[in-house]
Structures are given as structure tokens and as C-alpha cells.
Amino acid sequence: MSRIILQPSGNKDAREHYDDTILNPVGVNSISNFLSDKEKNIISKIYPNNKLFIWGVTPGGNNISKWNKINQGDVTLFSKDKRIYSSGVTTYKFQNKDLALFLWDKNSKNQTWEYIYLLDEIKTHNIPYVDFNRCIGYKENYVIQGFNVLDKEKSEKVLNRFNLFSDTYIEEIDVSYFNKISLDLDITEQSYTGLRRLEQGFLRKNLFKNHTLFSCCCCKKEYPVSFLVAAHIKKRSHCNNKEKLDENIVIPLCKFGCDELYEKGVLVVQNGEFTSSRKNENENIKLYIDSIKDKRCNYYDTNTSEYFGWHYDFYN
């Protein structure tokens, strides 16, 4: 489950940092000398446009232990003047004192904001503190003070109440933990409303990795992953527990037609190629499928052929 990061940003330093590295994203080329080859490689996959939204915290107080809790997919809420005015989704984090000095210099305590985390999906909000406080059970006059990371229970309430989840940047999910809570999947789904999201996140993370651009396996066009679905090859409602957790059960399909056609069974895979099912009688849909130049499904292999076969038989 993603967590909420609270980041009050009303003081002079925070306001300047927000202007310098959030409102005005930082070009990768301007900071490449401060990055390791590993960091450059990871960042290039997450930010193909080479523009970074950067934030950081100092090592003061308990900041390091809080920063250590941050994972990809966590959502930072920026606040000032008794309201939450902006949010961003965490993509990557690393410690880099030299980069922090270059970006922000030092504060009055001779510290720099070296515990860095990168953001994306920056959105504007106007959430009064009173609404935020009511959501998680704080006193209505509570004022957000200091960098903090909420626990999972409070975070889930905020994420659901203000619809702050990201489908692109998903936290790393520990496989052993996921398997453990999924052993009794039917019971767990009744007990925890968040399991389905965890399952979807696990499958999306395995499918898209850290990429923010990805190709639809049907039309072969590249899109931001937020416009792609981790589509079940075999209908999820017909999968047993083992199949639901099999990373091979999903394929990338775009929201511009391919996913809808496959979901409704008018688009099927036969012998490794996309084709129209026998139930399709609409000429325009047939023309759409015929327009796909490369009909070969590059996700069709020994791990997925039975799933595709089930889908084909179900709709024919």
C-alpha cells in the first residue's frame, strides 16, 4: 500500500525549492555529473523527457528514518496556508549531498537537503486542513508541521478519500509478503478491500517495471503507461488463485480500443496472432482489427498459450 508523505512548504526555503525544482523541473543534463551510471539508467527509463521533479529533506531530527520508509508510488502532499495545494507521486530516491548543494545550497543549520526523492504526476489541489483532518481522525484545528510519512491505515484513508493513487508509479511489492497474504485469496478479499489493488499493483509492476512509456502488444503503438491496461488474458473471474497471481496472466493493451475489444471478446488470439472472433459481425470493428499491421502477439509463448486458448474458446 502506498503511503502519504506530508511536506509543509510554507517557509522561505521550501517555497524557493518548490519553485526551483517542482514548478520548474530540472533537466537531467544539468545534473548528470552528480549521478552514478546506475542512477542515470534508472532515471532515463522513468523520465524519457529528461525533466525531473526533485525534492529532498535534511538529515535533521528523525528525517532519515522517515525518508527510509518512502517507496515508489508514495504520494507527497505539499501544504501551506492551512491547505494542501499540490501533490506528487514518488518515482525514485537516493542520497546525494553534492547534488543537493548544487540545487539548494545549505540551510541556517549548515545542512543540505541530501535525502532526495524524485516525483512525477504533479497535481494542484485545494484541500483545506479541516477536510484532511476529518479524513484521518485528527482534531479539526490540527496544522501539518514537519516532514512526515503516515502509517498505512491513515494513508489508505487519504488516498481513497481524495483519489490520489497512481497507476503508473507503483511501490515495490515484497513477493514473499504478497504470496503470504494471498494464500487464502477469497477470504482475504472479503476482509481487506485493498488486496485487489495490491494484486493489480503487483501485476502492473511486473509487467511495466520502471518504464513510463510502453507499447500495446496489439496495435504496437507506444503510450504512457497510464494509458495502458494490465489486461487479464483469461478473465480474472474465471481464474483460480494460482492463476490470479501468475505474472504471465496479464498483457499490455491500450485504452484506445484494443483493451475494450479484447475484454468483450471480439478481439482474440489464435495461433499467436490477433484476429477477429466469430462473434464479431461489425464491419467497423473488423476494419480496425484488419488495420493492425503486425498481428503477431509477442506475449504468446509456452507460459501464456493456455490462457489465450481459454479466451479464444470462451468467445468462439
Q: Identify whether residues 148 and 238 lie together within a single domain.
A: no
Q: Identify whether residues 140 and 80 lie together within a single domain.
A: yes
What is the structure's pLDDT at 209?
85
C-alpha–C-alpha distance, residues 52 and 74, integer Å:
17
Q: What is the mean pLDDT of the chain?
A: 90
Grid cell listed for 237: 473471474
Mean pLDDT of 269-295: 84
Q: Identify whether residues 37 and 150 lie together within a single domain.
A: yes
Q: Identify whether residues 10 and 149 lie together within a single domain.
A: yes
Query: pLDDT exceeding 70 applies to what percent of the chain?
Result: 91
Query: Is 127 within a domain?
Result: yes
Grid cell listed for 147: 516532514
Grid cell listed for 82: 492551512
Q: Identify whether residues 245 and 145 lie together within a single domain.
A: no
Q: Identify whether residues 122 and 221 lie together within a single domain.
A: no
Q: Identify whether residues 219 and 154 lie together within a single domain.
A: no
CATH number at residue 156: 3.10.590
Q: What is the 3-state secondary structure (H, E, C) of 225-259?
A: HHHEEEEECCCHHHCCHHHHCCHHHEEEEECCCHH
- Overall domain count for the chain: 2
**What's at 33, amino acid-wise?**
N
Q: Identify whether residues 220 and 155 lie together within a single domain.
A: no
Which residues does 171 contact at the CB level (< 8 Å), separation at least 6?
1, 2, 71, 72, 73, 74, 201
C-alpha–C-alpha distance, residues 199 and 169, integer Å:
15
Query: Is 146 within a domain?
Result: yes
What is the structure's pLDDT at 141?
93
Which pLDDT tens digit goes with each residue over 85-141?
Answer: 999 999 999 999 999 999 999 999 999 999 999 999 999 999 999 999 999 999 999
Half-sphere exposure of 299 (CA within 13 A, CB side): 23
Q: Hunting for cell 540545487 — which residue is that?
A: 103
Q: Identify whether residues 134 and 229 lie together within a single domain.
A: no
What is the structure's pLDDT at 187?
47
What is the structure's pLDDT at 190?
45
C-alpha–C-alpha distance, residues 194 and 192, integer Å:
5
- pTM (two decimals): 0.75
Q: Identify whether residues 56 and 125 lie together within a single domain.
A: yes
For every residue of 149-191, DSSP letters joined together read E--HHHHHHHHHHTT---SSS-----HHHHHHHTTTHHHHHHH
Mean pLDDT of 235-248: 88
Query: Is 166 within a domain?
Result: no
- Of 258, 242, 247, 241, whose CA–CA distance to 295 is shortest? 258
Least confident of 28-32, 73-77, 255-259, 291-295: 291-295
Query: Is 194 within a domain?
Result: no
Mean pLDDT of 265-286: 86
Statement: residue 167 has pLDDT above 50? yes
What is the structure's pLDDT at 244?
85
Q: Identify whether residues 107 and 243 lie together within a single domain.
A: no
Domain around 246: 211-314
pLDDT band at 165 (very low <50, low <70, confident <90, very high): confident
Domain boundary among 102, 129, 161: 161
Query: Is 252 within a domain?
Result: yes
Q: Hunting for cell 524524485 — which residue is that?
A: 118
Q: Identify whether residues 24 and 153 lie together within a single domain.
A: yes
Q: In DSSP terms, which residues pair with 268 in a beta bridge?
A: 275
What is the structure's pLDDT at 129?
96
Statement: residue 188 has pLDDT above 60? no
Domain boundary among 161, 192, 222: 161
Domain boundary among 120, 142, 161: 161
Query: Is 45 within a domain?
Result: yes
Least confident of 42-56, 186-200, 216-230, 299-313: 186-200
Query: Is 179 within a domain?
Result: no
Query: Is 131 within a domain?
Result: yes
Which pLDDT tens digit goes with each residue over 43-58?
Answer: 998 998 899 999 999 9
C-alpha–C-alpha distance, residues 186 and 244, integer Å:
11
